[in-house]
Structure formats: structure tokens, C-alpha cells
């Protein structure tokens, strides 16, 4: 199935990427990264692996439309799936949602895809979904992610002390939010020909 990009962007380094609906043929690119304990520790606070059947079930549910979630795959210029980004728990009445983002392969970490995709989906949430407040949770040991979120405009709003245990150490779960009333949506507006 061809890729149908919903949104396009570039990283700070000038690398082109797109956000598009996931496809069934993306399953092999989803299975392998979820055997990486480092990735899954960043996502859930402990290392786990997911079976092919579990990942196939997750993908099938992700392919269905939901008024409470917007999920995009992050694809590089060669249309290779490199991650995913989602707005979950969307509350239309309150204008709130929770952000989740994952870049699947360590070789793509630090290349700017995560920050650019996060910025773009936040613009999407503000412009198309009318979101006012986008929240996320991140573990305190993931300092690189926290710095990235701060650069985008997220600010810390609280912590759950010692919520994660790794070995003999405990780490906080950090809560951050972005208020969209001052968010620049010009990149997104530029993708709508009639609004240029």
C-alpha cells in the first residue's frame, strides 16, 4: 500500500519526514525495535519485549479510527517507518490530550525526528483538533527527552516521586504540559494551499 502523508516537515538538520497513518506492511519495522530493552525502558520504565502477535494486535487497533486518539507513523524521506507519535485521551470538551512519541531505532535517536514530529503533531492538535493543553509523562532518567520537550515549549508541572524502579534506584515520573495558545502553527498552515 502506498504511503499517504498527512503532514510533512523537516528536522533542524534539514532531513525531510512525514507523518502518515500506519500500514499493515509496517509490522516488521515495528516488531524488531520492541525487542530493544533500552527503547522499551524509555517507554514504560522497565525493559520488556513484545511478541509478533502482540505487536500485530497493537497495529490492528492502531489502524482503526478513534475520536480519542490520533496516531501517526513517522516516516523518513525513503518512506521507511522510523517511529510513531500520538495524541491520546483526546477530550474535545476540555481541549486536552496526552502526547506519546517513540523513535524506534537508536541510529535515529538524536537526528531530530522526534522533536520535529512532536512539534508538528502539537501544531496539528492545536490547529485541527482545537487542543489547548497537551500533556506528557517522561521518566526523570530520560534527560535528553526532557531537554527536547523543554525546547519545544513544554514545562514541568509536577512529579510522581520514585514511580519507577530500575535495579536498586528509583526515578520520578515527570509530568509536562504545553499550552497551545501561543503555539506557532504557520508550518501547518503553510501546508494548506488556500491559507497561504
Domains of the chain: 5-195 (3.40.630.30)
Calculate mean pLDDT across residues 51-74: 89
Q: pLDDT-based confidence at 119, cuts 50/70/90?
A: very high
- Helix axis angle for 113-127 and 143-152, nearest 10°, is 40
pLDDT over 70 (residue 179) = yes
The model's pLDDT over 129-164, given as tens digits with 9 standing for 90+, comes to 999 999 999 999 999 999 999 999 999 999 999 999
- The model's confidence at residue 181, banded by pLDDT at 50, 70 and 90, is very high
Output the nine-digit C-alpha cell for 57: 494486535
**Whole-number average pLDDT of the chain:** 90
pLDDT score at 196: 54
Cβ density class 92-124: b for 16+ within 10 Å, e for less: eeebbbbbbbbbbbeebbebbbbbbbbbbbbbb
Find the largest Cα–Cα distance for the chain: 57
Whether the CB-CB separation of 78 and 53 falls below 8 Å is answered with no
- Mapped onto helix, strand or coil, the DSSP state of residue 18 is strand
- CA 128 to chain centroid, in Å, comes to 17
What pLDDT, on a 0 to 100 scale, did the predictor assign at position 184? 87
The pLDDT assigned to 165 comes to 92
The H-or-E segment that residue 160 falls in is: strand 155-166
d(CA 140, CA 142) in angstroms, rounded, equals 5
How far apart are the C-alpha atoms of 86 and 102, rounded to whole Å? Answer: 9
pTM assigned to the model = 0.90
| pLDDT beyond 90 at 4 | no
- Checking if the pLDDT of 97 tops 70, the result is yes
- For residue 172, the model assigns a pLDDT of 96
Q: Which spans in 81-112 are helix H?
A: none
Task: Please determine, for residue 67, whether its predicted confidence score (pLDDT) is greater than 60.
Answer: yes
Q: Where do the H-state alpha helices sit in the chain? A: 27-31, 37-44, 52-62, 113-127, 143-152, 186-189
Sorting pLDDT into bands at 50, 70 and 90, what band is 112? very high
Query: Stretch 75-89: mean pLDDT, rounded?
Result: 94
Q: What are the distances in angstroms from CA 161 to CA 137, 150, 155, 170, 190?
A: 13, 20, 17, 8, 42
- The model's confidence at residue 128, banded by pLDDT at 50, 70 and 90, is very high
Structure confidence by residue, pLDDT tens digits, 10-45: 999 999 999 999 998 988 888 888 888 888 788 777
Amino acid at each position: 500500500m502506498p504511503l499517504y502523508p498527512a503532514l510533512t516537515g523537516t528536522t533542524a538538520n534539514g532531513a525531510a519526514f512525514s507523518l502518515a497513518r500506519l500500514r499493515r506492511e509496517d509490522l516488521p519495522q515495528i516488531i524488531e525495535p520492541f525487542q530493544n530493552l533500552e527503547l522499551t525502558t524509555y517507554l514504560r520504565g522497565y525493559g520488556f519485549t513484545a511478541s509478533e502477535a502482540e505487536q500485530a494486535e497493537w497495529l490492528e487497533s492502531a489502524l482503526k479510527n478513534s475520536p480519542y486518539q490520533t496516531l501517526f507513523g513517522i516516516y523518513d524521506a525513503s518512506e521507511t517507518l522510523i517511529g510513531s507519535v500520538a495524541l491520546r485521551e483526546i477530550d474535545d470538551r476540555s481541549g486536552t490530550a496526552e502526547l506519546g512519541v517513540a523513535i524506534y531505532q537508536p541510529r535515529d535517536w538524536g537526528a531530530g525526528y522526534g522533536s520535529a514530529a512532536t512539534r508538528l503533531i502539537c501544531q496539528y492538535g492545536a490547529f485541527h483538533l482545537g487542543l489547548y493543553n497537551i500533556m506528557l509523562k517522561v521518566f526523570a532518567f530520560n534527560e535528553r527527552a526532557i531537554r527536547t520537550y523543554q525546547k519545544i515549549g513544554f514545562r514541568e508541572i509536577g512529579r510522581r516521586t520514585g514511580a519507577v524502579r530500575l535495579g536498586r534506584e528509583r526515578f520520578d515520573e515527570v509530568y509536562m504540559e504545553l499550552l497551545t495558545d501561543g503555539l506557532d502553527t504557520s508550518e501547518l498552515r503553510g501546508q494548506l494551499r488556500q491559507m497561504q
